[in-house]
Amino acid sequence: MRSIRFAASGVLAAALLSGSPAAGQESRTPWGDPDLAGIWSNPFVTPLQRPGEYGEREFLTEEEIAAAEAELVERAQRPGRDGREFAGTERDVARAYNQHWFGDPSLQRGRRTSLIVDPPDGRLPPLTPEAAARIAEKTEFLAALLQGTSGGRPGPISPRRGEPSPDYNLDRINRADGPEDRSGTERCFGYGMPLMLESGTFGGVARLVQSAEALGIHYDAGQGQGFTRIVPITDRPHLPASMRLRYGDARGRWEGDALVVDVRNFTETTNFHGSRENLHLVERFTRLDAETLRYEVTVDDPTTFTRPFTMVQELTKNSDYENQVFEGGCHEGNYGMIGMLANTRAAERAFAEGHGPDPATQDNATGGNVE
């Protein structure tokens, strides 16, 4: 049972004794806290930001949900990245990868018009001038390295091709001089925080294992991009600001029936809509009933956003059958990274000997999905 291996020792061992309530029964642990344990997923498609036509309206009507679900079915029948309109070209080959995961016709449209519930318009707050400038700088750098390729603007190879990234790179740079040029997912970093269990693009589930002193969460998401968090339920202070963690330093406390988790001390390997090491999260886990867990998170970073914002998602209870959520193994057998670097070295050698195209003129960043 690798997916719950982290729960087999220490204070989390008691979690294996906490069952999940049947419908109509009180959702409490043997020690009296609200019972959050179980396997939770999100069957609904909900956009992060609210489309403008809904204004400040938080929920869809039944008619709007039906129309949206019909549109999802129609969208799933489109060729998408599997289209062959560029047959015989580099883009034709690049486009097909992973199209299977996009546009599942069985998806349901959630009632919410957006995951963001505050600000009232359901939109991301404006960026600070500092954040807008650093994001624009990175965007221009990415565009420069694509110049002269099928995925970029016309022109000669950019003189910026040899420059280091202006930030700690987590994007797919059109370059493969080393692993740092590749994306965080290609490097098996795992998804970052906060992880909303989005449906429609890989989806995901979370297994929560609970004791009186801690909450363990294992996320199974994407292609081996899952990860495990341990949330101490304690009044101990946070780590010093000089100590940074990939998924932040979490401290949980109960406020009524909600477990409130304060998370800070992130690293530069974090990137949530431009927020990096200054990201600060306040999460709230609330068991609404036997089948529903409400997850709410407030995002705050005054160096990136002009105000905090809050997202909400209602997760659905899955079967308690053991071992349904498996530990991700992205690094084991990650021959893709080795292949990308080795292939680029081989292409450079061949070009130097007068064979084949210059690797700098090939698009190894967009996957052909640039329209």
* pLDDT tier, 4 (very low <50, low <70, confident <90, very high otherwise): very low
Residue 95 binned pLDDT confidence (cut-offs 50, 70, 90): low
Confidence of residue 229 (pLDDT cuts 50, 70, 90): very high
Residues 6+ apart with CB under 8 A from 20: 27, 35, 37, 38, 290, 317, 320
Q: Is 111 exposed, middle or buried (0-12, 13-18, 19+ CB in 10 A)?
A: middle
Q: What is the DSSP string of 297-329?
A: EEEE-TTTBSS-EEEEEEEEE----TT-SPPP-
Residue 255 and residue 35: Cα distance in Å, rounded? Answer: 14
List pLDDT tens digits, range 253-281: 999 999 999 999 999 999 999 999 999 99
- Domain 1-59+112-331: which topology? Lipocalin (2.40.128)
Name the one residue in this structure whose structure tokens are 């995925």: 151
Question: Average model confidence (pLDDT) for the chain?
Answer: 84
The secondary structure of residue 238, as a DSSP letter, is P
> b vs e for 175-186, b when ≥16 Cβ sit within 10 Å of the residue's Cβ?
bbeeeebbebbb
pLDDT at position 185, please? 85
Strand partners, 309: 299
Six-digit token string for 316? 């659905």
- Mean pLDDT value across residues 107-117: 90
Amino acid at residue number 338: I
Q: Looking at mean pLDDT, say which of 80-84, 189-193, 354-358 comes out highest.
A: 354-358
Strand partners, 227: 219
Q: Is the pLDDT of residue 106 over 80?
A: no
Q: Which token pair is 148?
A: 């002269």
Whether 323 shows a pLDDT value over 80: the answer reads no
Element (DSSP H or E) covering residue 258: strand 258-264
- Domain borders along the chain are 1-59+112-331, 61-109, 335-362
Task: Report the C-alpha gap between 153 and 71 in whole angstroms.
Answer: 33
Q: Which amino acid is at 164?
A: P
Q: What confidence category does residue 12 fall into, taking pLDDT thresholds of 50, 70 and 90?
A: very low
SS3 of residue 241 by DSSP: coil
Give the closest residue to 284 by CA, choosing from 247, 255, 246.
Answer: 255
Q: Which of 126, 45, 135, 55 is nearest to 309 (CA)?
A: 126
Q: What is the pTM of this model?
A: 0.84
